[in-house]
Structure 1
């Protein structure tokens, strides 16, 4: 489980997660868990949402409602709330809330159940199914279970003074509860020099480095070209390197096992299990 959180100013965490998911080397679950309301479906997948191929009412809220009487997370129960992403069919989307007011319907227990379900997913071959989780801007409503259970927590930051200053208090608070080995940075819309400056200013390792690439970013954030990611772009090349490195840190798959040949949800790639 890799969770991205950000400070003020929308540094690009959601776009970074969409990029990672699009090029992830295995079936992956993309969970939009921003308590202020999700941007993945209306952004990257906006055209599919308008066309009805993606449903806004099927995701985090529907899972919380369906499991409200459960005492523990059930990964098998999560499947019916996950939707295949049309432009990247190895990605399963857990759509986010549509308004901040819906957050009260989740509750701390709901986030805890969801966290347990995400962490316990496995593929049909018995391999763990990775989860990429967007918790949005850090604040009082941030779902801590999704941070504390993550294998990696990345704070999204751009190489600007405003974003670096916004990231500092977030990192300080996270560092009180998350060990240094699991806490890093996602440098967004950056350059090699910008990444160096961010690392030096914040004193944390860079887990993901995404370069400036306005055209591809517009696909992933605003749904240009129906969300179809280009075959080649600087942003996707960097995201692919990061995805393979992050994935390889926790798995030891052969190339054949990594090959994605079917939609994540409709083909039953994911099944419930325990780590």
Structure 2
């Protein structure tokens, strides 16, 4: 589980996570857990909502409602709240809240149940399904269970003074509860030189560096071209490299598993069993 969080302004966390999911080399869950309301479905996949292929009411809120009487999280409860992302069929979307007011209907118990379900989810073939989680802007409503359970927490930041200063105070607070080896940076709309400056200023490792690519970013943030993957996009190329590296950090496979073909549809991609 990799969770991304942002500070003040709009550093590009949601765009980065959508691109990372699109470039992920294995089945992956993309969970929009921003308590202020989600942008993943309405942004990258907005046209598919308009066309009726994606439902914005199936995801975080529907899972919280369906499991409200459960005492703990169960990965078997999550499958019916996951939808295929049409531009990238290996991505299973857990759509976010439609309004900030819906946060109260989820509450801390709902976030905890979702965290357990995401962490233990498997594909239909019985392999662990990775989860990429967007918790939005850091603040009083931040769902801490999704930060504390993550294998890696990424703080999204742009290489500007305003974003770096906002990230500095946030990293201090996060560092009080998250081990240093599980806390890194996602530097967005950057260059190699600017990324090195951010690393020096914040004293944290860079887990992801995304280049400036306005057209590619518009696909994942605003659904340009109906969200179709921009094949020649520098952003997507960087996301794929980062995805392969991060995936390889947490997984080892047998030769037989590596030869297994990628499942082509949500039905064969997503199972509901526990690890």
Residue 239 (1) aligns with residue 239 (2): yes
Unaligned runs of 5+ in 2: none
State the partner residue of 2:5. 5
Q: How does 1:131-142 map to 2 (within 5 A)?
A: 131-142=131-142
Name the CA shift for 1:268/1:199 in 2 (closer, same or farther; >3 Å): closer
Deviation at 1:205, TM superposition (A): 0.2
Q: Aligned partners of 2:157 and 2:70: how far apart in 1?
A: 37
Distance in 2 (alpha carbons) for counterparts of 1:53 and 1:38: 18
Report the TM-score, using the length of structure 1 for normalisation.
Answer: 0.97
- How many residues of Structure 1 are paired with residues of Structure 2 in the alignment? 273
Secondary structure in 2 aligned to 1:164?
A: helix
Tell me if structure 1 keeps the 8 A contact 2:90–2:269. no
Alpha-carbon offset, residue 233 of structure 1: 1.6
- Runs of 4+ in structure 1 deviating by more than 3 angstroms, as ranges, are 254-259
- 1:139 & 1:163 partners in 2: Cα distance? 15
Contact kept, 8 Å, 1:60 with 1:96, in 2: the verdict is: yes
**1:259: how far off?**
4.3
2:167 equivalent in structure 1: 167
SS in structure 2 at match of 1:270: coil
In the TM superposition, 1:105-184 aligns within 5 A as 105-184=105-184
5+ unaligned residues in a row in structure 1: which ranges? none
Match of 1:26 in 2: 26
Quick one: distance in 2 between partners of 1:125 and 1:49? 29
**Equivalent position SS for 1:267:** helix
Q: Distance in 2 between matches of 1:207 and 1:36?
A: 26
1:75-86 to structure 2, matched below 5 A, reads 75-86=75-86
The alignment partner of 2:71 has SS state of coil
Contact 2:23 2:236 in 1 (8 A): yes
Distance 1:204 1:49 in 2: 38
Residues 81 and 257 of structure 1: CA distance in aligned 2, closer, same or farther (over 3 Å): farther
Contact 1:191 1:211 in 2 (8 A): yes
Other-structure match for 1:88: 88
Q: State TM-score, norm by structure 2.
A: 0.97
Which among 251, 261, 264 is matched to residue 263 of structure 2?
261
